[in-house]
Amino acid sequence: MQNMTLELNASDERGIQVVRQEIQDFASTKTIFSNKFKLIILDECDAMTRDAQFALRRVMEKYTRNARFCLICNYVSKIIPALQSRCTKFRFAPLDGNFVQERLEVVIKSEGVKMGPGGMEALVALGGGDMRRSLNIVQSCHMAFDQVDASAVYLCTGNPRPEDIETVLRWLLNDSLLDVFRSILDLQQSRGIALSDIVRELHTWLFRMSLPTRQRIELVEALADLEYRLATGTHERLQLGALCACFAKAREGIAAAAQ
């Protein structure tokens, strides 16, 4: 198996020279004492340069008789169309929470991790169906705290707790613009919460609430614009003001519609 399989991951150099030398040399030689094909696995192949991908395309065409390629990536849009057309695509959805919890329980038991109230639910929720992310979180929490409960998980990852988002939403829908701005700013400084995380969680809450359709649409669009501006590196305090303003505007619209 070792002589028939070549695996390169993201930590390996995978420029055009590697494709032309190591990968091509491996694919060009036939297997000994067997007529089966060789397997070349390229993990995180979306990190390969375009020149390396074009070179890989030629290697795949030339040695298709005795080699098969398995390309693993997170963003298929970063793979050139010429490579995509030569592959069969398999898309893997995030794991179901029940499967993640089942596996986490096995790891927690074998490693002797002390769990607390709400810890497992928080690990599954923040993992988002990514088993590796959930395991990284439980490992970090186990090293930093005596027990892995909900508070420890959210504190270790820096994510806002559900009760914090509920409080922020109550401020945005009831308090004055200046009071909301100061309250959220104090919450960020005391809990170390990033505004982008608050915006992301508010987006989820908006679809659970009972709001007029027009105001819901305006808020969803405003949060999308805020998330984009935050991702481009704008000043966080200015965007916090914009967040408070868009909810104040939505409140005015709801009040006008009620009259």
Whether residues 253 and 167 share a domain: the answer is: yes
Find out whether 136 and 104 touch, Cβ atoms under 8 Å.
no
Task: Determine, yes or no, domain membership for 124.
Answer: yes
Task: Determine, yes or no, domain membership for 139.
Answer: yes
Task: Determine, yes or no, domain membership for 90.
Answer: no
Indicate whether 15 pLDDT > 80. Answer: no
Whether residues 174 and 199 share a domain: the answer is: yes
Task: Determine, yes or no, domain membership for 91.
Answer: no
Range 57-62 average pLDDT: 88
Task: Determine, yes or no, domain membership for 69.
Answer: yes
Whether residues 199 and 226 share a domain: the answer is: yes
Structure confidence at residue 37 (pLDDT): 85
Domain boundary among 134, 157, 180: 157
Indicate whether 47 pLDDT > 70. Answer: yes
Structure confidence at residue 224 (pLDDT): 92
Which H helix or E strand runs over 71? strand 67-71
Indicate whether 34 pLDDT > 70. Answer: no
User: Distance between CA 76 and CA 89 in Å, rounded?
Assistant: 9
Domain boundary among 128, 157, 186: 157
Range 69-93 average pLDDT: 90
Find out whether 217 and 186 touch, Cβ atoms under 8 Å.
no
Find out whether 254 and 215 touch, Cβ atoms under 8 Å.
yes
Whether residues 18 and 66 share a domain: the answer is: yes
Q: How confident is the model at residue 161 (pLDDT cuts 50, 70, 90)?
A: confident
Total domains, the chain: 3
Beta bridge partners of 115: 148
Whether residues 73 and 34 share a domain: the answer is: yes
Find out whether 237 and 185 touch, Cβ atoms under 8 Å.
yes
Whether residues 169 and 252 share a domain: the answer is: yes
**173 Cβ partners below 8 Å, 6+ apart?**
247, 251
| b/e code 213-242 from CB counts within 10 Å (16+ = b) | eebeebbeebbeebeebbeeeeeeeebbbe
Calculate what percentage of the chain has a pLDDT beyond 90: 10
Whether residues 110 and 152 share a domain: the answer is: yes
Indicate whether 256 pLDDT > 80. Answer: no
Task: Give the CATH number of the domain where residue 80 resides.
Answer: 3.40.50.300
Task: Determine, yes or no, domain membership for 89.
Answer: no
Task: Determine, yes or no, domain membership for 33.
Answer: yes
Whether residues 149 and 169 share a domain: the answer is: no
Whether residues 198 and 223 share a domain: the answer is: yes
Indicate whether 35 pLDDT > 80. Answer: no
Q: Please give the C-alpha separations between residue 231 and each of 75, 195, 196, 258, in angstroms, as whole numbers.
A: 18, 11, 8, 36
Mean of pLDDT over the chain: 86
Q: Which residue has the tokens 């820096």?
A: 158
Least confident of 20-24, 42-46, 136-140, 179-183: 20-24
Indicate whether 11 pLDDT > 70. Answer: no
Whether residues 59 and 117 share a domain: the answer is: no
Range 87-114 average pLDDT: 89
Q: Is residue 208 classed as helix, strand or coil in its secondary structure?
A: coil
Whether residues 250 and 183 share a domain: the answer is: yes
Range 99-124 average pLDDT: 89
Task: Determine, yes or no, domain membership for 74.
Answer: yes
Could you read off the pLDDT of 195-234 as tens digits, one per residue?
888 888 888 888 888 888 888 888 899 999 999 998 888 8
User: Distance between CA 134 and CA 209 in Å, rounded?
Assistant: 28
Range 24-32 average pLDDT: 78
Domain boundary among 114, 141, 157: 157
Structure confidence at residue 70 (pLDDT): 92
- Domain interval for residue 206: 162-258
Whether residues 252 and 208 share a domain: the answer is: yes
User: Distance between CA 2 and CA 175 in Å, rounded?
Assistant: 65
Bridge pairing between strands 5-8 and 67-71: unpaired
Calculate what percentage of the chain has a pLDDT beyond 70: 97
Structure confidence at residue 44 (pLDDT): 87
pTM attached to this predicted model: 0.66
Locate 103 and state its tokens: 């596996």
